[in-house]
Amino acid sequence: MYELTVRTRFAAAHSLRDYEGPCARVHGHTWHIEATFRGCRLDRKGMLLDFGVVKAKIKTVVEELDHNYLNEIKPFTGSAENNPTVENLARHIYNRLKQDLDKNNLPAQIASVRVWESPDTSAAYSEV
């Protein structure tokens, strides 16, 4: 089994609904993302996935979030359950990358997405 991990970052604002504390007010983070892909088969060039292709896919997802107020973007609108928490962001990015990989029939699967909200705090989402 091979794993590839790609890191990127974006800046965005959010606030937490039904939360008591400073995070209920609008504030921003530079969110750091680590997306890990997994697969058993390498192509004839010895690659699981081309980093250029992977970075382009992550860029598409990140551009939807970058320099936005996340509470106004689906799926983070509505109730506190949909709060743009670091956990929900990790799941959202995971699902978007999974959809994209499935659609393009690539030989690797998304394994996990970890989102860092600060240098000391992160959450990861995976389905395995």
Q: Quick one: 57 or 92, whose CB is closer to Zn ion?
A: 92
CA angle 120, 122, 128 (to 5 degrees): 145
Structure tokens at 83: 């709060």
Q: Least distance to Zn ion from the beta carbon of 123, Å?
A: 12
Q: Quick one: 29 or 57, whose CB is closer to Zn ion?
A: 29
Of 21-50, which residues contact Zn ion (CB under 5 A)? 23
Of 89-128, which residues contact Zn ion (CB under 5 A)? none
Q: Quick one: 22 or 52, whose CB is closer to Zn ion?
A: 22
Distance of CA 51 to the CA centre of its chain: 16
Q: Least distance to Zn ion from the beta carbon of 24, Å?
A: 10
Question: How many Å apart are CA 116 and CA 53, to the nearest integer?
Answer: 23
Q: Minimal CB distance to Zn ion: which residue? A: 23
Which conformational region is residue 10 in: left (phi greater than 0), alpha (psi within -120 to 50 degrees), or beta? beta
Q: Quick one: 23 or 47, whose CB is closer to Zn ion?
A: 23
Based on its alpha-carbon atoms, the radius of gyration of the chain, rounded to whole angstroms, reads 15
Residues that bind Zn ion (CB under 5 A): 23
